[in-house]
Amino acid sequence: MDKELGFGKYKRYQETQGPLPEAFDFVNDMKVVEEQVNQTYEHNLAFHVPLEGNTKPSYSSNWEKMVAYHHGLYVPEMYQATKTADEIRSTVNAYTDKVHADAPKDACKYLNIEEFRCLNVYQYETNPGYAAKKCMKWYDELQKCQWDQAKFNAGTTYIEGPQMKRRRAYVFYPDFKYA
């Protein structure tokens, strides 16, 4: 476990060794690798989402604004300031606590939390189309999980095992003994 670090002296191998070899110790000392979730928040906010939000449209009169609102062309939530990484983190943590309290035995709760995290990272309030596109995989997996859980709870299907073996290939498969 001991290794030589330059001056002929032996030091214990550091617990927080970075991902790069010894020649790049200056990068390893900067602690480039951090918690994956936090890195995701910061990365997505910095590179994918404009931090100042969308520019608010101007209308010459109140009735134009109301018509645009009525037809879905003006959604006030889309023109607010975007959330910071700390706000997203606290929102997701609060939602996680609520999900664990409401349905502790729900099989799909972790997919539900991940979908909520994804939507918040991609700022679903200010840019719903982009967030929906980026988080479609979580939504799809959550729907599949909820469908499987509903079938399991209703007794329509079982956990895989010998009872899953069916006698017929499908419901209306002919019974050749009598046909």
Q: Which amino acid, one-letter code, is at 70? A: H
CA 19-24-29 angle, to 5 degrees, is 70
Q: What is the pLDDT along the chain (179 residues), one digit of tens a residue?
A: 444 444 444 444 444 455 556 666 666 666 555 444 445 555 555 555 555 667 777 888 889 889 988 888 887 777 787 888 889 999 999 999 999 999 999 999 999 999 999 999 998 888 888 889 999 999 999 999 999 888 888 777 666 655 555 566 666 777 676 64
Q: Which two tokens mark 97?
A: 């606590």
Q: What's the CA gap between 66 and 29, in Å, rounded? A: 56
Contact (CB, 8 A) for 123 and 82: yes
CA 31-36-39 angle, to 5 degrees, is 70
> What pLDDT, on a 0 to 100 scale, did the predictor assign at position 52?
63
